[in-house]
Amino acid sequence: MNKYKEQCDAFIEYLQIERNASPYTVKFYVKDLEDFFDFLNAEGVVGLEQVSYQEVRLYLTVLFDRKLNRRTVSRKISSLRSFYKFLDREGYVSTNPFIHVKLPKADKSIPGFLYREELNKLFEVNDLSDPLGQRDQALLETFYATGIRVSECQGMLLNDIDFSVGTMLIRGKGNKERYIPFGRFAEIALETYIHDGRNQLLQKSQVPTKSVFLNAKGTPLTARGIRLILNKMVEKAALTVHVHPHKLRHTFATHLLNEGADLRGVQELLGHENLSSTQIYTHVTKDRLRNVYMQAHPRADGHNSDQRGDQRGK
């Protein structure tokens, strides 16, 4: 890493300032670069300018030999392509050896989601007379009502919630902002927590904060803390499924589409830049489409066909 510190530091600065990348994104870029630098050292490549298409192909082989999935390999190659594009622009290198490398197609995995029965069990486990129970209920209702990411939830401030119109201001990836509506159940849970439980928790720290969700000591919850809370709810509900914030995000999108929501509307709610990211949820609408078909198509089932046959006979 030290060998390429100047180029790496310049690239990180570019990510932070020009591309407005989050610390989480920068962390993965750095990790991918360090992995590639280790490969170059092992292969005896003396500098970034010396990397050719042949070294890139060899690196791909090494990644697949390590049994990495296609999504991870694709991310690493994409990171290095951006890195070399930056190096080329700044004059560190004269060519980008990654420019003609085709990214491996990612394995298409169907996102997991919760059924209504499983959700109902989760909604029933919290003690709403207890400040932590109120917080946990508000967390759960917020995730299901909005489909936000755990980082978006963790960074939510009191002023971001507008109860008068029932919307939340969400700061997503790259500090992109969007407004998301929320319903009556989330409204009740949030108002109960903010006006009661949160005040009780805040008294334990005596440190003012605008963060919505606090831990037992009265300081802002971390993303890890939110995940632990969900795990405890699952244990209380005696569910056999693994529940994490992103699964609640999947559930939000799945249930909306199953009830006939427009795909582009769901895209905006989720904060997806590309529609293709939202389309992974369309598989779950098959049951709804089948019901529509069975109810509407003239020859969908024998009962309807017989009735029409009778009508034709008349």
Considering the candidates 75, 76, 198, 249, report the single residue annotated as catalytic: 249
> Out of 71, 121, 171, 246, which one is annotated catalytic?
246
Question: Tokens standing for 207?
Answer: 């440190």
76: annotated active-site residue: no
The answer to whether 255 is a known catalytic residue is no
DSSP string of the chain, one letter each residue: -GGGHHHHHHHHHHHHHTS---HHHHHHHHHHHHHHHHHHHHHT---GGG--HHHHHHHHHHHHHTT--HHHHHHHHHHHHHHHHHHHHHTS-S--TTTTPPPPPPP--PPP---HHHHHHHHTSS-TTSHHHHHHHHHHHHHHHH---HHHHHT-BGGGEETTTTEEEEE-GGG-EEEEE--HHHHHHHHHIIIIIHHHHHHHH-----BS-B-TTSSBPPHHHHHHHHHHHHHHHT--S---HHHHHHHHHHHHHHTT--HHHHHHHHT-SSHHHHGGGGGGGHHHHHHHHHHH-TTSSHHHHHHHHHHHH-
115 is catalytic: no
Q: Of 281, 297, 299, 303, which residue is the catalytic one? A: 281
Catalytic residue among 149, 198, 250, 255: 149
Catalytic residue among 173, 227, 236, 244: 173
Residue 281 annotated among the catalytic residues of the structure:
yes
Beta-sheet pairing, 177-181 with 161-162: unpaired
Q: CA 302: distance to chain centroid? A: 44
Q: Is 246 one of the catalytic residues? A: yes
Instruction: Establish whether 149 is a catalytic residue.
Output: yes
Which positions are catalytic?
A: 149, 173, 246, 249, 272, 281
